[in-house]
Structure 1
Amino acid sequence: MCTGKCSRIIGVLLFPLGICAIVANLLLYFPNAQILEVDQITDFVWFFHGIVGAGLLAFLPAFMMLGAGGDGCCANRCGMLLSVLLSALGAAGGLYCVIISAMGLIQGPKCDTGNNMFIYPFRNTTEEENYLFNPEIWDTCREPENIVLWNIVLFSILLGIGAIQAILCLIQVINGLIGFLCGTCMRKRKTGVA
């Protein structure tokens, strides 16, 4: 497979992943479709890991990959080198999303346990008491309703998207280096002989 075609495929895959990451991050601001006060929202949502990390930082290399993989001014060795640099940035954004999502899952949601104060009831638990593996303690959170499941699902989606994007961007780094060193394998234009 030509490095240009591989770039286009990876670029096309990054767009829906980035959009899904942005939507998942935005949904974390509205737990169980409720509007809460700023101080009632889980802290790790404010790191914008889905919007910036797996969203915008994935779109930059995706645009360049589409340009580097097509016919035009970017379909050359310099375009492939630029796609390597932007793909490294995209991989860093994906890893950022993975790290913040994992930390959000470990800490658990911020919720009201019944005393009208929003706290982190699952923070500092041991592995045996971890809320992720004990759904029977999820009802500790009274408000917003189903906040534990909401956070687990959305942070898990963001973790998965970030991991996939980081892998795709790292593949593009290797692909781009090959394209830079060996060329993009574009078809030779036929020259007519008179």
Structure 2
Amino acid sequence: MCSGNFAKCLGITLIPLAIVCVLCNILLFFPGGNVVKQTTDITDEVFYFGGILGSGVLMIFPALVFLGLKNNDCCGCCGNESCGKRFAMFSSILFAAVGVAGAGYSVIISCVAINHGPKCFTEFNTANTTYLFADGNYLSNRTLWKECTGPGDIITWHLTLFCILLMTGLVQIGLCAFQVINGLIGTICGDCCGCCGVRHTLL
């Protein structure tokens, strides 16, 4: 498979993943599926926008670059037929690094949020939410969950969405890492499709 075709496949895969991350981050603004009266009732890590900025907006740029690699003009640069394609593949490595940084940011935020747990109401404090758990103790001791009375089924909501962000971020890092390798191969060896050869044949 040509390096350009492989990059296009990666770009097609990254776009829906980025959309999923953005949607997850938006849903986290509605703890337990409820509209809260004050923003202080929302988990702090939600406002770091790991899914919207890290795995969302920052991931769109490399995805679009990967999609466009196949259609890049690969001919005519300093008399070297393949240097245009080689430069495009090299630039894709830089955008892949941006993607890794963005997804990495989302993964870190998700890990911190999962460890801290959500903000909860308790039977002794129904006016304001607070961090009821510490150091991920609720993950191994589910009996602690009953101490959290809301909003809604906040613990399941919190864990599900942040776990999706975590797993999606890891997949995005893997895909961008593949493009770094693919880009290096394309930079060194050029694209195997040989569009310049086709052009010369037609001429």
Q: TM-score, length-normalised on structure 1? A: 0.91
Corresponding residue for residue 103 of structure 1: 112
Give the CA deviation at 1:71.
2.5
Instruction: Letter of the 1:109 partner, please give it.
Output: P
Q: Which of these residues, 62, 81, 101, is aligned with residue 92 of structure 1?
A: 101
Corresponding residue for residue 83 of structure 1: 92
Worse overlay, 146-155 or 72-81: 72-81
Instruction: Letter of the 2:111 partner, please give it.
Output: A
* CA distances 1:66-108 after superposition (whole Å, capped 9, x unpaired): 111x133377112111111010000111111111100000000
- 1:76 aligned counterpart, secondary structure: helix
Partner Cα separation in structure 1 for residue 135 and residue 63 of structure 2: 39
Q: Which of these residues, 114, 123, 129, is aligned with residue 134 of structure 2?
A: 123
Q: Please tell me whether the aligned partners of residues 108 and 122 of structure 1 are also in contact (alpha carbons under 8 angstroms).
A: yes
Partner Cα separation in structure 2 for residue 10 and residue 90 of structure 1: 12
Distance 1:142 1:192, change over 3 A: closer
Worse overlay, 99-108 or 184-193: 184-193
Q: TM-score, length-normalised on structure 2? A: 0.88
Query: How many residues are treated as equivalent by the alignment?
Result: 188
Instruction: Letter of the 1:27 partner, please give it.
Output: L
Superposition misfits of 4+ residues, deviation over 2 angstroms: 71-75, 133-136
- 1:172 aligned counterpart, secondary structure: helix
Partner Cα separation in structure 2 for residue 88 and residue 162 of structure 1: 14
Give the CA deviation at 1:184.
1.5
Q: Percent identity?
A: 42
Instruction: Letter of the 2:73 partner, please give it.
Output: C
Partner Cα separation in structure 1 for residue 10 and residue 175 of structure 2: 6
Corresponding residue for residue 16 of structure 1: 16
Give the CA deviation at 1:124.
4.0
Give the CA deviation at 1:180.
1.1
Larger Rg: 2
Instruction: Letter of the 2:14 partner, please give it.
Output: L
Q: Please tell me whether the aligned partners of residues 67 and 79 of structure 1 are also in contact (alpha carbons under 8 angstroms).
A: no
Instruction: Letter of the 1:172 partner, please give it.
Output: Q
Worse overlay, 110-119 or 73-82: 73-82
Gaps of 5+ in 2: 75-83
Residue 175 in structure 1 maps to residue 182 in structure 2: yes
Q: Please tell me whether the aligned partners of residues 120 and 150 of structure 2 are also in contact (alpha carbons under 8 angstroms).
A: yes
Partner Cα separation in structure 1 for residue 159 and residue 190 of structure 2: 44
Corresponding residue for residue 162 of structure 1: 169
Residue 29 in structure 1 maps to residue 29 in structure 2: yes
Partner Cα separation in structure 2 for residue 173 and residue 99 of structure 1: 21
Give the RMSD, CA atoms, in angstroms.
1.6
Give the CA deviation at 1:133.
2.3
- 2:198 aligned counterpart, secondary structure: coil
Q: Please tell me whether the aligned partners of residues 106 and 166 of structure 2 are also in contact (alpha carbons under 8 angstroms).
A: yes
